[in-house]
Amino acid sequence: MSATAEQVERWGAFECVLNGPESGNPFTDVELNAEFRFGNRVVPVRGFYDGAGEYRIRLMPDAIGRWTYRTRSNRVELDGATGEFLCTAPAAANHGPVGVAHTYHFAYADGTPYYPIGTTCYVWNHQSDELQAQTLRTLKHAPFNKMRMCVFPKHYIYNQREPARHPCPVNAEGRIDPSRFNPAYFKHLDQRVRDLMQLGIEADIILLHPYDRWGYAEMDAMSDDRYLRYVVARLAAYRNVWWSMANEYDLMKSKTMSDWDRFFKIVQETDPHQHLRGVHNCRGFYDHNKPWVTHQSIQRADMAQVCEWRTACRKPVVVDECRYEGNIQKNWGNIPAREMVHKFWEATVRGGYAGHGETYLHPDDTLWWSHGGILHGQSPERIAFLRQLVEDGPATGLEPAGVWQGMPAAGKANAYYLGYAGNAQPAKALLNLPEPGAYAVDLIDTWEMSVTPLDGPFSGKCEIDLPGKPYTALRIRRRAD
């Protein structure tokens, strides 16, 4: 037995590697688990087969100090292996995994606020190595800190090519063998999740989806469950992982609601680190009130409903798909950049979060929404501007607050407000600011990305002149003096 490291930083990935049987089908025949101990605490972890006779067990240690472990297996070669490692202080950029904070928002494990500014590149990890490298270069200079991505390849419009690697072996007829996995594919997936981690990007892992021609969407219950356990065993030790049970789960007609409940419970029970869990819809919502759902992952174009969704479930609202900036023939993929920016602002001032996507036509059908590559739209830099404003605001997140008539706002009571006129063009804002107190007011042009301080201070009921053009916002901050 060997371990890849005798020391690992807090919220890093410790890995134990064991040599075992290759005969038969190790994915179905061999059971491997370990008990990790830290003081009186015991953390059970599943192992997995990684090909060529190698078995791995991964843990993300969350406490500094000495950890020990012992393996359990139905094969003598893998049973009873022991070891230990030292968990050290995390590096400066390592804040741990993201979790829910303050009911409707998120924070890293060390308490650092996290505001999801996500994008979608469904199968970027299934493209050529050159295109994947280009995607990572693009992300390095983009505002996004979350990426929605699929485990399985996708068969859909603009997605007709055969992927370079498959998660399962594929026969001559193009159908998968769901009883086995392709370690080379999953090693590559591991690397791509680590690449995103190095960029400070959360990997929102989409476990299932309906757009398929190989058989992934129609696996039987035993294969579904084995697959989920395998993916969780491989990826849960990476701190930047989120779990999405599916993209457009309600289009997978071979699955029942009890199947989706079971999938959630399997992921919840087998993930020792309890990463965030959600499910993305097309038409009908899954019941986000169920206890295994950590946040609401929503597909809708109308951001005005964010407050309603918050109230209904008392969980964070992330509108992961609110349509795409682009020019394809599908109505979900041809909104202008101004409309994409507008949706981000609307979601923000209603106490939620929005997700970006881009679908501009390309000679080689390379669309960011599915393949990655280069961003062509005008919304990302303006989303970056909004992200900075949000990060400069209250650390606990923005809460809906009706401060003035006709302009939705969010903030922190009696201290900070961000209001947004949307596609209206008022010439004045009528404010009713909490008293006592004086406030500074900034006029924000959300498209030109400008912040103009207004002469003040302001207090109580007051009237502010506006430029009379749409997409104007106001930032109001209580003055210390």
Q: Using one digit for the tens of pLDDT, what is the confidence trace for 285-336? A: 999 999 999 999 999 999 999 999 999 999 999 999 999 999 999 999 999 9
Helix (H, G, I), strand (E, B) or coil at 330: coil
Domain end call among 88, 121, 154: 88
pLDDT tier at 404, thresholds 50, 70, 90: low
CATH number of the domain to which 240 belongs:
3.20.20.80
Higher pLDDT, 93 or 6: 93
Q: What confidence score (pLDDT) does residue 430 get?
A: 87
Domain end call among 391, 412, 445: 391
Calculate mean pLDDT across residues 243-263: 98
Mean pLDDT for all residues in the chain: 96
Calculate mean pLDDT across residues 339-353: 97
Is 75 found in the same domain as 148?
no
Is 258 found in the same domain as 165?
yes
Cα gap 188→353, rounded to integer Å: 30
Is 262 found in the same domain as 128?
yes
- Residue-wise pLDDT tens digits, 364-399: 999 999 999 999 999 999 999 999 999 999 999 999
Q: Does residue 435 have a pLDDT over 90?
A: no
Cα gap 394→412, rounded to integer Å: 7
**Phi, psi (degrees; rounded to nearest 5) at 198:** -65, -25
Report the C-alpha dihedral over residues 74, 77, 83, 89, rounded to 10 degrees. Answer: -70
Q: What confidence score (pLDDT) does residue 91 get?
A: 97
Whether 396 is in a domain gets the answer no
CATH number of the domain to which 416 belongs:
2.60.40.3950
Report the C-alpha dihedral over residues 398, 403, 404, 409, rounded to 10 degrees. Answer: 10
Per-residue DSSP letters for 375-435?
Answer: ---SHHHHHHHHHHHHHTS-TT--EE---BTTB-EEEETTTEEEEE-TT---SEEEEE--S
Whether 316 is in a domain gets the answer yes
Calculate mean pLDDT across residues 246-252: 98
Burial of 332 (0-12, 13-18, 19+ CB in 10 A): middle
Q: Are residues 439 and 477 in contact, defined by beta-carbon separation less than 8 angstroms?
A: yes
pLDDT tier at 403, thresholds 50, 70, 90: low
181: its two tokens: 């996995």
Whether 461 is in a domain gets the answer yes
Count CA atoms closer than 13 A to 196's CA, side-chain side.
29
Q: Is the dihedral of CA 204, 207, 213, 217 positive or negative?
A: negative
pLDDT tier at 3, thresholds 50, 70, 90: very low
DSSP state of 94: -
Is 381 found in the same domain as 410?
no
Calculate mean pLDDT across residues 445-459: 95
- Residue-wise pLDDT tens digits, 115-146: 999 999 999 999 999 999 999 999 999 999 99
Whether 462 is in a domain gets the answer yes
Is 414 found in the same domain as 330?
no
Whether 29 is in a domain gets the answer yes
Whether 59 is in a domain gets the answer yes
Supply angle C-alpha 202, 206, 209, rounded to 5.
Answer: 160
pLDDT tier at 2, thresholds 50, 70, 90: very low
Q: Does residue 4 have a pLDDT over 80?
A: no
Cα gap 385→447, rounded to integer Å: 9
CA distances from 418 to 390, 393, 410 (A): 9, 9, 5
Is 405 found in the same domain as 382?
no
Domain end call among 356, 391, 426: 391
Q: Which neighbouring-strand residues pair with 202?
A: 146
Domain count, the chain: 3
Is 84 found in the same domain as 50?
yes
Record the pTM.
0.96
* End-to-end C-alpha distance for the chain, whole angstroms: 64
Q: What confidence score (pLDDT) does residue 480 get?
A: 82
Helix, strand, coil % (nearest 5) of the chain? 25, 30, 45
Q: What confidence score (pLDDT) does residue 151 get?
A: 98
Is 140 found in the same domain as 29?
no
Q: Are residues 190 and 240 in contact, defined by beta-carbon separation less than 8 angstroms?
A: no
Whether 413 is in a domain gets the answer yes
Q: What confidence score (pLDDT) does residue 402 get?
A: 65
Is 314 found in the same domain as 169?
yes
Q: Does residue 262 have a pLDDT over 50?
A: yes
- Residue-wise pLDDT tens digits, 225-246: 999 999 999 999 999 999 999 9
CATH number of the domain to which 8 belongs:
2.60.40.10
- Residue-wise pLDDT tens digits, 190-221: 999 999 999 999 999 999 999 999 999 999 99
Count CA atoms closer than 13 A to 87's CA, side-chain side.
21
Cα gap 176→172, rounded to integer Å: 10
Q: What confidence score (pLDDT) does residue 431 get?
A: 87
DSSP H or E run through 353: strand 353-356
Per-residue DSSP letters for 176-219?
Answer: B-TTS--HHHHHHHHHHHHHHHHTT-EEEEE---S--SSSGGG-
Q: Does residue 157 have a pLDDT over 80?
A: yes
Nearest-10 crossing angle of helices 257-270, 221-235: 30
Is 105 found in the same domain as 13?
no
Is 441 found in the same domain as 380?
no
Helix (H, G, I), strand (E, B) or coil at 258: helix
Is 255 found in the same domain as 231?
yes
Range of the domain at 43: 2-88
Least confident range from 63-77, 170-184, 373-387, 392-406: namely: 392-406
Whether 93 is in a domain gets the answer no
Q: Does residue 5 have a pLDDT over 90?
A: no
Calculate mean pLDDT across residues 53-79: 98
DSSP H or E run through 307: helix 306-313
Q: What confidence score (pLDDT) does residue 92 get?
A: 97
